[in-house]
Amino acid sequence: MPAKVKAALLGASGYTGADLLRLGVLHPGLDFVALTANTHAGKPMSSVFPHLSSAKLPDLVTNEAVEWTDVDVVFCGLPHGASQKIIVEILEASPKTRIIDMSADYRLRDVETYAKWYGAPHVSPEWQKKAAYGLTEHNRDAIRTAPIIACPGCYPTAVLLALLPLVGAGAISTEDMIIDAKSGITGAGRGLKQNTLFAEAGESLSPYSIGSHRHGPEIEQEIGKAAGAEVVVNFTPHLIPMSRGELITAHVRLGSARNAAELRDILAAAYADEPFIRIAGRSEMPATGHVRGSNHALINVFDDRIPGRAIVVGAIDNLVKGSAGQAIQNFNVAFGFAETTALEALPLFP
């Protein structure tokens, strides 16, 4: 086994940061030497996240207090915009340090697409191009060596795991793809926002960013790569009143496949050796409750009553496979650990 890897976690007072620590403290090869925050800097972790008290973690500091040359890997759980700047600073100060970014800043390859959807040009198009897209099951070779691993968004993770093998095989059409998605409230982060207040999000379900969510172009980038052509998808997210979990329902046209059974066979073959991807039993309904707290993705395919179409359903935990768990999985690939290290936990049910 490789020696202990010295890690810094940026944004340790956020939800992805907390889940990265919950999982990461059990990793035999990870040593968290620095944890950073913004408004919470200076506080002990036990006051910010009492559930982590027994883990004996360092106190929170600002990013400026970290000596980057002392750190082998940086996990970044900062908002997009803030991430890109500090990541360039780290790589300039310490070129050997590897970055595993959970934010959106290094996912899009095309600089104009980035500027259009994120409202400002990227600070470093050069580093943007050197990043590997961190959808582990589909990009291991690049993840092994890239200086920056850009973990996918939570929605793209669920969508791409369910659709990429089908698109790659030509089994479904890339035209007329309609993706309906639902996320638990932690997807919006720990900061105070009116629409995530219990009184407003509880007992209520609503779509948001219809036709304008920034995960649309991210999904299109990766499906387009698998299809070898430009693709446009309809993507509609919804906020659902539960703390964690994400379910996507993709309504697709068949390509070369004749029915859902053939699509299931393609997915089962593509993921046969993957420890975290499970193709559900034939009539099993994927449920967020069946992946909660785990790094699992659960996928199934059903025939549509409309001839020539199928419905692909995927469930993940947005904070685990959708961010912190996938970040640790990518760390394992990049640093030569068994890929399941620290991620063996089964889902928490009920």
Ligand X SMILES: CC(=O)N[C@@H](CCC(=O)OP(=O)(O)O)C(=O)O
Ligand Y SMILES: NC(=O)C1=CN([C@@H]2O[C@H](COP(=O)(O)OP(=O)(O)OC[C@H]3O[C@@H](n4cnc5c(N)ncnc54)[C@H](OP(=O)(O)O)[C@@H]3O)[C@@H](O)[C@H]2O)C=CC1
Q: Is 189 a residue that touches ligand Y (CB under 6 A)?
A: yes
Q: Residue 328 Cβ, how far from ligand Y at the closest point, in Å? A: 13
The least CB distance from residue 188 to ligand X, in Å, is: 3
Instruction: Give me the least distance between CB of 80 and ligand X, in Å please.
Output: 5
Q: How far is CA 18 from CA 4, 13, 22, 38, 330, in A?
A: 21, 7, 6, 15, 17
The count of other CB atoms within 10 Å of the CB of residue 8 is: 25
The total of other beta-carbon atoms located within 10 Å of residue 289's CB is 13
Query: Using CB distances below 5 to 8 A depending on partner kind, what does residue 16 bind out of ligand X, ligand Y, none?
Result: ligand Y
| Contact flags string 144-173 toward ligand Y, x per CB under 6 A | ---------xx-------------------
**Does residue 98 contact residue 133 with C-beta atoms inside 8 Å?**
no
By CB under 6 A, name the one of 7, 8, 9, 11 that touches ligand Y: 11
Residues of this chain that interact with ligand X (CB under 6 A) are 80, 103-104, 153-154, 183, 187-188, 237, 239
Nearer to ligand X, 54 or 194 (CB): 194
Q: Would residue 154 show up in a list of annotated catalytic residues for this protein?
A: yes
Question: Do the strands 148-150 and 98-101 form a parallel or antiparallel pair, or are they unpaired?
Answer: parallel
Q: Of ligand X, ligand Y, none, which one sits near residue 245, judging by CB under 5 to 8 A according to partner kind?
A: none
Vertex 31: Cα angle to 136 and 62 (nearest 5): 95
Amino acid at 250: A
Among ligand Y, ligand X, none, residue 82 binds (CB under 5-8 Å by kind) = ligand Y
Closest CB 154 distance from ligand X, rounded Å: 4
Chain centre distance of CA 94: 26
CA 21-325-345 angle, 5° bins: 85
- Measured from each CB, the residue nearest to ligand X is 187
Pairing assessment for the beta strands 177-183 and 246-253 based on DSSP bridges: antiparallel
Residue with tokens 């992805």: 16
Nearer to ligand Y, 80 or 264 (CB): 80
Q: Which is nearer to ligand Y, 17 or 286 (CB)?
A: 17
CB 238 within 8 A of CB 207: yes
Choosing from 97, 124, 323, 329, the residue that interacts with ligand Y (CB under 6 A) is 323
> Between residues 183 and 341, which has the closer beta carbon with respect to ligand X?
183
Nearer to ligand X, 124 or 183 (CB): 183
Part of the chain binding ligand Y (CB under 6 A), chosen from 64-72, 76-84, 88-96, 342-350: 76-84
147 close to 90: Cβ distance less than 8 angstroms: no
Q: Where are the alpha helices (DSSP H) in the chain?
A: 15-24, 45-48, 82-93, 111-118, 125-130, 140-145, 154-168, 198-201, 215-227, 260-270, 325-335
Closer CB to ligand Y, residue 103 or residue 174? 103
Catalytic residue among 86, 135, 154, 159: 154
Q: Which positions lie near ligand Y, rule CB under 6 A?
A: 11-17, 37-40, 63, 77-80, 82, 102-104, 153-154, 186-187, 189-191, 318-319, 322-323
Residues assigned a catalytic role:
154
